[in-house]
Amino acid sequence: MAGRILLKVEDLGRAVYVNPVDLKLYQLNSPIEAYNILKKFGLGITDINLNKITNGTMLSVKKGAESSHSVAVDNPPSFQSASLQSSVTIPTQIKFSGIATDDIGLQDITMKVSGPRGSDITAFTQSLNGVTSKNLNEYYFDSAHSTYANQAGSYTVTLIIKDTNNQTKSQGFTVSVVKSGQCGNGIVEEGETSENCCIDVGCYEIVYNNGVWSTSKEDYLIWFSRNNITLIEEKGTITQETIDRLSSFVKLFYLTKDNKIGFRHRPNEFKLSFASSGGGGLYGVSQSASCLIIEDTLAFGALAPTWENSLAHEFGHMISTAETVQLPESWKLPAVSCNVPMTDEKGEDLTELCQDESCFTGCCGILPRTEDFAEVFRMYSLHGPEFRQEIVSDPNSILAKKYKWMQENIFNGKEFTSSKL
């Protein structure tokens, strides 16, 4: 046995070297370890003497010729029970769980991240020195990392392991990154209670039971109160007739609560106005509804007569936009609402507003990126059938891409069949 390399066929094919000098057995756990150990036993030899020994070729050796057992085969590396938390709030780090294994030895592990910061950003590569098993809890995704994260949005985190024979295995994990303190993101965060953020902690039943939305003003008042949103009614006390507005707002909250993007801001004030006119034109209506972002305060207004459209538009501003996500190409052009029939809450056709030349410029000119986003959001949530009709003839159009993006990233695939929330 002196000088032989033994393969323990009943023990994962572990290799052992019988050192002919001291006749002791040395474990060769991986190719890299074997390489390092064997070199330690090396006997110096000159080229002349080395040339006296005939070269062997692997082809001349019949694999496992002397053994009745099969010799171990190098299987690709694999993950066992690998997982990563699916959502995280900046600046939390989330650790992987599970194990990376290889029957012969792991060479290295790499983590790549795709998300708002870019695609396939290499977060790290670490050498594993031929170990056959590596616990993944040593590795983590840092939501505050300035190179690959630190922006709210959806990320794909990929671990790639390579064995010593350059075989690789990768596994991807989807992580939703949100900014801290975002009531409404579906995550119970520090400081959030059922009293100040019941939408996350749990209060759906206050306004929605057995598939039916509440018609009680009191229920909505409780809901707003428990989400720390102040209600302001410009003409005085809140009346029963405001109930539809309140419920529309709450419905939008729930419809978008699980969006992959997260909220850029959330309102802490909901102002109800009852002006008789929205101003000069479709966009005038929306623009006259207030959406003032001062630091982290967002005052949210809904203006008659197109309050629901205004509300949806302003709500769109709350959803993170160009700051946090890579929107589809040419997102700014053209505005979605130009040629789409619209009605206000009384059924009055507002399409003619877009036929006016001055308004036409406003409707179809290049809109600020965030305004276009808010409009697409409004159209998607309130005018689904018209929106789809608009894109059916050209599924590859920019509009179609906007629709698809909104469907996938904000509404979790949900589509709308009516113009009422």
Chain positions contacting another protein, by CB under 8 A: 1-11, 15-16, 18, 20-28, 30-32, 34-35, 38-39, 41-47, 49-50, 52-56, 58, 60-61, 63-64, 66-72, 74, 104, 130, 164-166
* Nearer residue to another protein within complex by CB, 23 or 392: 23
Amino acid residing at 267: P
**Beta-bridge partners for 271:** 232, 301
Contact 302, 245 (CB under 8 A): yes
Q: CB–CB of 192/184 below 8 Å? A: no
Nearer to another protein, 108 or 189 (CB): 108
Provide CB contacts within 8 A for 42, sequence distance 6+. none
**CB of 161 vs another protein, minimal distance in Å:** 16
Please report how close the Cβ of residue 101 comes to another protein at its closest, in angstroms: 17
- The dihedral sign for the CA sequence 386, 391, 397, 402: positive
| Pick 20 or 118: Cβ nearer another protein | 20
**Residue with Cβ nearer another protein (106 or 359):** 106
Q: How far is the CB of 102 from another protein (least distance, A)?
A: 12
Q: What are the angstrom distances between the C-alpha of 323 and each of 157, 235, 327?
A: 21, 36, 10
Cα 163 to Cα 77: distance, rounded to the nearest angstrom = 6
Closest approach of another protein to the CB of residue 77, in Å: 14
CB atoms within 10 A of CB 272: 23
Least distance in angstroms from the C-beta of 153 to another protein: 40
How is residue 86 written in tokens? 């699916």
Give the residue with the Cβ less far from another protein, 21 or 294.
21
CB of 199 to another protein, least distance (A): 55
Q: Give the max Cα distance, the chain.
A: 105
Backbone angles phi, psi at 279, to 5 degrees: 105, -165
Q: Which is nearer to another protein, 41 or 124 (CB)?
A: 41
Q: In angstroms, what CA-CA distances link 303 with 196, 242, 286, 389?
A: 26, 11, 8, 28
Q: Closer CB to another protein, residue 20 or residue 365?
A: 20
Place of tokens 């720390």: 228
User: Which alpha helices (H) appear in 331-394, and where do they start and end?
Assistant: 352-355, 357-364, 369-382, 384-391
CB of 167 to another protein, least distance (A): 11
Torsion of CA 309, 304, 208, 413, to 10 degrees: 0
Residue 130 or 184: the one with the smaller Cβ distance to another protein is: 130
Sign of the Cα torsion 121, 139, 150, 401 reads: positive
Q: Give the integer Cα–Cα distance in Å for 261 and 182.
A: 12
- Cβ proximity to another protein, 65 vs 294, nearer residue: 65
CB-nearer residue toward another protein: 44 or 236: 44
Taking the C-alpha atoms of residue 404 and residue 8, their distance in angstroms, rounded to an integer, is 56
What minimum distance in Å lies between the beta carbon of 169 and another protein? 18
Shortest distance (Å) from residue 330 CB to another protein: 49
Peptide bond into 91 cis (omega under 30): yes
Least Cβ distance, residue 151 to another protein (angstroms): 40
Q: What is the DSSP letter of 119?
A: E
